Amino acid sequence: MRKEEIPAFTKELKKTGKPRGFILQNSVFKARETDTEATAKAVLENDHIDKSNYDLLLENFHLLHDIFLSLAAQSNFPDVSQKDFELFCQEIGLFDNTEDFNTTLL
């Protein structure tokens, strides 16, 4: 039977490496073009939207784009599931509780 304590073995970890950070030119997104007013207009003109809101949507396109990316990151990227979109709409109060979300979208 052993009378002395078993010495603890700890290996000293090396602290090497560079701090991590996102660098666009080193990523898979390097070929992606930054959205401009021209690309925003192209998106809005080719989408099925109510043209009476065109100016409002164009003015806030960058905000809508950021909201979409945030929702997609929390859902099934690059898509937003209907359930996640419904939860978002409820959170911001887009629909009142008297409407059925599924029939509203039809």
pLDDT digits (tens, 9 = 90+) for 7-65: 777 777 777 777 778 787 887 777 877 788 898 888 888 877 777 888 888 898 889 88
pLDDT score of 96 = 63
What is the per-residue pLDDT for 98? Answer: 62
- Nearest 5°: phi and psi at 5? -70, 145
Question: What whole-number distance in Å separates Cα of residue 74 and Cα of residue 68?
Answer: 10
* 52-106 pLDDT, tens digit each: 888 888 898 889 888 888 888 888 877 888 888 888 888 887 766 666 666 655 5
Residue 58 · residue 40 · CB < 8 Å:
yes
Which of 54, 53, 51, 81 lies closest to 68, judged by CA?
Answer: 81
Structure tokens at 2: 């052993």
What per-residue confidence (pLDDT) applies to 105?
55
CA distance 48 to 94: 19
How many CB atoms sit inside 10 A of residue 106's CB?
5
Asked if 74 and 88 count as a contact pair (C-beta separation under 8 A), the reply is no
Q: Which pLDDT value is given to residue 39? A: 87
